[in-house]
Structures are given as structure tokens and as C-alpha cells.
Structure 1
Amino acid sequence: MDQVTPTNVDVSSGGNNLLGALRAAEFALLKGSLRRMDRPAGAVLYEPGDDVRTVYFPCAQTVVSFMVMLDDSRLVEIGLVGREGAVGGIVSQGRLPAYARAVVQIGGPMLRLESAELERAKEQSAALRHLFARYADCLLAQIFQSVACNAAHSIEQRTAKWLLATLDRTGDEEVTLTQEQLASMLAVGRSYIGRVIRELRASGAIDTGRARLRVRDPQMLEAMSCQCHASVRQHFETVLEGVYPTGNEVAGHGVVITNGPLFRP
């Protein structure tokens, strides 16, 4: 299997680490077809059953959630994707229906690519196919860990884990989020999550305001969290070294978002 080495080019405007891991020759196969877009929080990219015709690469602080609806109409989050990854048909051949809802959790810039264009590029490059196959392994590991975490760990641990995962992906200590949204994602009652938030605030780990949370002490959150977040991050480092974001790093490694054309430094 070809090794794909991150370009490690610093950028100032943010980008997508997965695309940044491509060598120049592989990136050139996609560059002409990538389009910049911005999506606000709450925008739905796919509903279950939708024909997946577009691939989205979240950039900078943008975060997308995969949500599954239960038979009582509750929506439960089963995965987060930020600048380390992509959403929609990365490995599969052809246009397949979406299984989960993909919704923008934290709004911002993305790069979009038609699935057909990605398939053509993968036909021309084994390195491109291998990179996205390794990313699919990392995403599946995240979902496996999420299932185990939801079954075995407390709401307090899961809340701390979610905040840490979001902090990594956004590089921003502040998260715009209501208690209702967080309760829905963790599949618990609002009163329960309200108590957890009050405990985190009393400990000094976070501050709260109107529809926002601010992380004050990530190390304290690490101590309160389970090991699931660290396990997923470690798997990314093993399979796709340098792609998983860590805290307040500059996002991107090679893909720059500007108001003009996409370019590579």
C-alpha cells in the first residue's frame, strides 16, 4: 500500500486535514472539481434514503454530526466529522442511499465535490483510494467506540468526551449549543444534562452563557472523560498520522479557503 505523507504546509485561513494529507499529484486530480461553500449550523446535508451525489470536506471550525432516528423519534448522534474527514460516499462505488442524517452542527466553510468526480479521480490513483479507505477505517473505529461508550459510560463521561472532541475539531474553546441540543445528541433528558452542565461549571471545567459553552480547563475535562476520545485519536494517529486535529492547531495543512479560487500554497 502506498504511503501518503501530509504536506505539513501551514495556512492561515483554515482547511481540511484529510485533503491536506494528499501529495500534490493526487490533490491535482481533485483540485479543479472542488468548490467552496458555507453552511450554517442546522443545515442538513443528507437525510436517510437520500441519493448521495456529493462529498463534503468540512474546513476550519465546521463540524458535521451523523444522527440516527430511533423508533420513538429521538435523534441520537453517532459520529462527528470535522476538518479531519469527509462526509458522503468516500469509499463506496456509485451513488448509494444515505443511512443517517448528516447535519451541520457548527457552521462554517466546506469544500464540496461531486461523487462522480471523486470516483474518476480514484480510478486514476491508487494512493487516493488507499487514503480514503484508511479514513473509512478511522470513521468506523469512531462509530465502534461511540457504540461502546454509549453502552458503558456515564452521561458525565460522555459529555466531557463530546466537548473534547468538539474542541479538537474546531480549535475554539467556545461552542454555540443549547442544552436541548446536547441532550438530544446524547439521548438523555434535558434536566439530566442540565445537572451535568452545572456540575462541570461548578468544577471550573467550563463556563456557560446563553446558548453557548466555553471550555476553561481541557485537562480537567480529560480527567472527567472516559478513554474513548483518546482511543479514537490514537487510532487516527496510527492509521492516518497527522490528520486528526489536536486542539488549537491551525487547520488545513495545505488547502486554503479564500473568497476567491481554491489554491494550494
Structure 2
Amino acid sequence: MRAHENFLLGQMDAVVFDELLPHGSVVKLTSGEVIAETRVEIDRVYFPHSGIISCVVALTGGGVIETAMIGRDGAFGAALSLDGRRAFNDAVVQVGGEATVFDTRIFSDFAERHVGFRRQLMTYEQFHLAEVQQTAACNAVHTVLARTCRWLLRMYDLVGDEIAITQESLSQMMGIRRTSVTDAARVLQNSGAITLSRGHVRIIDLSKISALACECHANVARNYRWLRHRER
């Protein structure tokens, strides 16, 4: 099983990891798949190896706003499995991939028995909450171009320089008009930072994207480096 490709599972104590792994299975994450709905009990915990799960807030008018991304550096449903098991917001697969999944009840019992692993999950939840807070601040005060660059940098961290995403999906996740995303994408393409094709973005010059981004991605990355150092 490819579970070691997920950071949290890869950082586990070897003996504890060998005890947990037989309870897991590898599943495909399909773009657009809804893996959790608001106030509905979840039945699986996801540790992605690849792809991206987006945590989103559904709005009354039918739109959604993305609050955080979860990829190979984290997990979805781990903390929820320990308390209540009901999702507070929707979770949607933004970019397809694979994940190791565990039944929530089995996972909860396991985490209760292994204090060190439970502490590791709680540390990750602190990182996740900080990302949500940073996203809220970014959406409130930064320009569309800066926010688009932040989003691309985070996606690059999780899936690399080839990103399967449409401008329509990106505009929905950012809560802005598609024309605004198109304008930002055109600026980046004209500068040689990215290339665009239908449903696909390729990052060409990461330094140019970084120069146009706000400070939010750097803050999230700094928190992640702290998390990695803490878990060694």
C-alpha cells in the first residue's frame, strides 16, 4: 500500500503504523466527487497520496467558497472521527488522485488507544485551522491576481506544475466572477508564468507567480514547515 506517500501516515511510529495499515484501503479520488456534506455523519477518514480535497462552504445562492485544501500533507475527517463524526461543511475532490481510507469508528478507536498518534492529528488540525483563517483574511483584503497566485502556489505544493482545473471551477472556489479569473490568468500567461489549455494549467515560472502573490501562501508554508519539524 502507498500509505507512506501521505505525510501524516509516513511520520507515524513504525510499530503503530503496521498495526493501523491493515484496516485501511486505497481508493480513487474522482474530480468533483463529494466526500462529505454539511451536518451529515462521515464514515471514512481520508489520507490523500495525490490529488486535492477542497473544504468548501456552501452559500444560500448556490455558490461555494473554498476555505482550505487537503493533499498529501494532511487528512480529511481525522479529527471529526474523534468527536461527533459530523462534517461542519462540504468536502469536494478538486483534483483527482488516490487516498488511503479508514472506517471512522475503527480509526477513532485506534487513535484513542495511541496517544502519540492522536497528538500528531491534533497538531495537524492546528495547521489546518490556521490555513482556514489565512484564507478568510486573504479573501477579504487581497486582489484577485494575488489570490489566484496564492491558490496556484498551494496547488503546486500539493500536485506539482501540472494542474487539472478549469477557470470555472477556480472562480467558483474563490467566490468571484469567471471573467475576473480569466483576467488574472491572462496576466500570468502573458508574463510567461503559466500556460493554459482547456481544463489544464501548467506552471512555467514559479518565481513570477511568487512575486505577484500575497503573503498568505508564505504564511501557510511557514506553518507547514513548523509542522514537519515538530513531527520529526
Using the size of structure 1 for normalisation, the TM-score is 0.83
1:69 Cα offset (Å):
1.1
Deviation readout 1:165-203 (Å, 9 max, x if unpaired):
0011012x1111111111111111111111111111011
Pairing of 1:93-132 with structure 2 (within 5 A): 93-132=82-121
1:241 Cα offset (Å):
2.5
Q: What one-letter code is carried by the residue in structure 2 that aligns with 1:52? A: I
Q: Which has the higher helix share?
A: 2
Q: What one-letter code is carried by the residue in structure 1 that aligns with 2:204? A: R
Query: What is the SS of the residue equivalent to 2:107?
Result: helix
* Counterpart pick for 2:126 among 120, 137, 143: 137
For residues 57 and 40 of structure 1, what CA distance do their matches in structure 2 show?
14
* Counterpart pick for 2:165 among 177, 185, 196: 177
Paired residues of 2:3 and 2:9 also in contact (CA < 8 A): no
For residues 55 and 25 of structure 1, what CA distance do their matches in structure 2 show?
20
Q: Name the CA shift for 1:31/1:209 in 2 (closer, same or farther; >3 Å).
A: same
Paired residues of 1:52 and 1:98 also in contact (CA < 8 A): yes
Identity across matched positions, percent: 31
Deviation readout 1:145-169 (Å, 9 max, x if unpaired):
0011111111100100000100110
* Counterpart pick for 2:48 among 58, 68, 73: 58
* Counterpart pick for 1:36 among 23, 26, 36: 26
Quote the residue 1:8 is aligned against.
none
Quote the residue 2:221 is aligned against.
233
For residues 130 and 148 of structure 1, what CA distance do their matches in structure 2 show?
28
Q: Any gaps of 5 or more consecutive residues in structure 2?
A: none
Q: Name the CA shift for 1:134/1:91 in 2 (closer, same or farther; >3 Å).
A: farther
Provide the alpha-carbon RMSD of the alignment. 1.9
For residues 167 and 91 of structure 2, what CA distance do their matches in structure 1 show?
20
Q: What one-letter code is carried by the residue in structure 1 that aligns with 2:94? A: Q
Query: What is the SS of the residue equivalent to 2:40?
Result: coil
For residues 52 and 237 of structure 1, what CA distance do their matches in structure 2 show?
29
Q: Name the CA shift for 1:110/1:127 in 2 (closer, same or farther; >3 Å).
A: same
Quote the residue 2:195 is aligned against.
207
| Total equivalences in the alignment | 231
Quote the residue 2:7 is aligned against.
17
For residues 75 and 13 of structure 1, what CA distance do their matches in structure 2 show?
31
Q: Does 1:27 align with 2:47?
A: no
Paired residues of 1:95 and 1:115 also in contact (CA < 8 A): no
Quote the residue 1:168 is aligned against.
157
Q: What one-letter code is carried by the residue in structure 1 that aligns with 2:66? A: E
Query: What is the SS of the residue equivalent to 2:41?
Result: coil
Quote the residue 1:77 is aligned against.
66
Using the size of structure 2 for normalisation, the TM-score is 0.94
RCO comparison, higher one (Cα < 8 Å, 6+): 1
Q: Any gaps of 5 or more consecutive residues in structure 1?
A: 1-10, 244-265
For residues 158 and 242 of structure 1, what CA distance do their matches in structure 2 show?
29
Paired residues of 1:135 and 1:240 also in contact (CA < 8 A): no
For residues 218 and 100 of structure 1, what CA distance do their matches in structure 2 show?
32
For residues 183 and 101 of structure 2, what CA distance do their matches in structure 1 show?
39
Quote the residue 1:86 is aligned against.
75
Deviation readout 1:207-261 (Å, 9 max, x if unpaired):
0111111110111111110111111111121133388xxxxxxxxxxxxxxxxxx
